[in-house]
Amino acid sequence: MWDSDWLGFRLAGSRVPAVHSPLRFSLSPLLLVAALTPCARAVVIRTGTADFTNTVRLAWMPDRHEENPGFPIPIASLRGIGWPEQSTGEWHRQMAMISPLHFVYANHYTVSNTWRLSFELADGTLLNQQILNTQTVKNAQGQDTDLLLGTLQAPVSLAATGIAPFPVANLGSDANYLGQRAWVFGKVATAGRGTFAGFGTLTADGFNHTRFIYFDYKNASGAADDCYFESGDSGSPTFIVESGQPALIGTHSYENEITGGHRSYDTFIPDYLTQLDAMMDAQGYHVKRLHPAATTLNLSAAPAAPLQTGQARSVLFTIDNAGSADAHNLTLTLTFSVPPATLSGSGWICEQGDTAGAWLCRRGGVPQAGTAPLTASWSDPGDSGSISVNGSLGWDGGNAVTLAATLPVSASSTSFYTAWAASLSQPGAAEDPDRDGVVNLLEYAFGGDPAAASTMAIGGYPLLPRLKDSTLLFARRTDASQRGLVYHLETSTDLSSWTESLPAGASASEVPFIPAVDGFDEEVVTLPREAMRYFRVRVEMTP
């Protein structure tokens, strides 16, 4: 029978390949007593004494804490290890953060969504974070493993708490792990050591779809800090230490006796990076790798349409992975001189910062040759004449890419017309205050004077379109698109149906007036000689 509160289990008459004795768990009366004391051991350590300096990072748990500054791993780098708060009765267990929102543990032990996890801060106080949910990690074949991914209700801020998630030690081939000296954490914030000796899987239910890495404890020989698992150590983390910093290898699954000692098995987390990434992606996180692959990201910005005062507009930010590997844990900060109403994109989690116009975004990753666009939108980009954008894009293992852009904002088409017609007694686009038969919109589009009846434009050329031999001529504003003006040249053979499709052989070009007229060019349309055809120029002003 298997007890989910134990790392070991008994399988009557069963044996595991390459294990020379039946799987079993033994707990001496002495250790049982020790497990009930305030400063109890967790993993069984060879020294057999409560060596505070070498094996305990926090003493007098759960409600009183004594931090050990002499612990061999810097205490500041271990704040990502949490435990269920005291009221749960499970405070002796340890769980390791792998993102600001996620932690890992053993799937064979039930973790309740009603629990809160406690973390020790630098000032000795505790941060308690509510668990949102837990999920079983699957292997590549979609089968349950003994690895559990937990999600907190809210991310833990490194800047505010000093709590940093642990990277996973991705060392490449299996051979690179063997012989590595491991730091093995158990219940009640204690730790011993082991040396990785091999990999394996089991045929036992609940463990037969999990890949493990193991280390051995020899009864007759070994270092003073060698250890093996005991009851209650389920799910606690195992690390290697590189450049003084811990990197996660696994979570504790079980222990059994072998000839001359004990063998302790950790779920081998590096085998499940792809699955963990997929599970964490919706919250904007991936697993942090100890050795992230080098890749190159680019960041650019371009308006979807020219920014214009009074008009809803957007700017597209494009992040593309131009390197040769996937990028993980993208962070993007953008600061706008005119704050957008929204900033969003598929896969992105964006939140407004503490200062006006500042946004903080994160994304789990972007694959090699992939893109990760997001869009800033304004209901009105304002009348400041431009919007400045400053940005910084970072990702695991990459050098930050910066962006400094100035995006011009033009006056709206309606504001141009409003200013032009401001002095008129009848300013409406369809009105004709000078009674010359040319409404204000046409006077505006062709350069006329709406206050004086005349067939000539202010620039000295004929106001309305005209035919000269086989050429149609009319004035066009050079900034027509900015003003929202659209000139539709249309033809008809019966004055009933009109089309913008010019006859075969027709050509059109814009040329400067001679002498030049500020703000206007002349549209010259050369027409083929053919049967009778009518032409007109229809003007439209869009927002």
Question: Which pair of structure tokens corresponds to residue 445?
Answer: 């589009």
How many Cα atoms occupy the beta-carbon half-sphere of 269 within 13 Å?
34
- Amino acid identity, residue 242? E
Other C-beta atoms closer than 10 Å to the C-beta of 204 total: 15
- Domain 29-270: assigned CATH number: 2.40.10.120
363-404 confidence digits (pLDDT tens): 999 999 999 999 999 999 998 999 999 999 999 999 999 999
pLDDT score recorded for residue 533: 85
State the average pLDDT over residues 526-533: 83
In this structure, which topology does domain 297-410 adopt according to CATH? Immunoglobulin-like (2.60.40)
Other C-beta atoms closer than 10 Å to the C-beta of 450 total: 24
Residue ranges per domain, the chain?
A: 29-270, 297-410, 423-541
**Residue 12: pLDDT above 90?**
no
Query: pTM here?
Result: 0.77
Instruction: Report how far residue 241's alpha carbon sits from residue 223's, in angstroms, rounded to the nearest whole number.
Output: 17
235-271 confidence digits (pLDDT tens): 999 999 999 999 999 999 989 999 999 999 999 999 9
- Amino acid identity, residue 291? H
Q: Identify whether the C-beta of residue 153 lies closer than 8 Å to the C-beta of residue 129.
A: yes
Alpha helices in 119-260 (DSSP H): 158-161
Q: Identify whether the C-beta of residue 94 lies closer than 8 Å to the C-beta of residue 82.
A: yes
The DSSP symbol for 480 reads H
Class of domain 423-541: mainly beta
Largest CA distance in the chain: 114
Same fold across 297-410 and 423-541: yes
pLDDT score recorded for residue 50: 54
Q: Identify whether the C-beta of residue 42 lies closer than 8 Å to the C-beta of residue 92.
A: yes
Which residue, 207, 253, 206, 212, is CA-closest to 234? Answer: 253
pLDDT score recorded for residue 49: 57
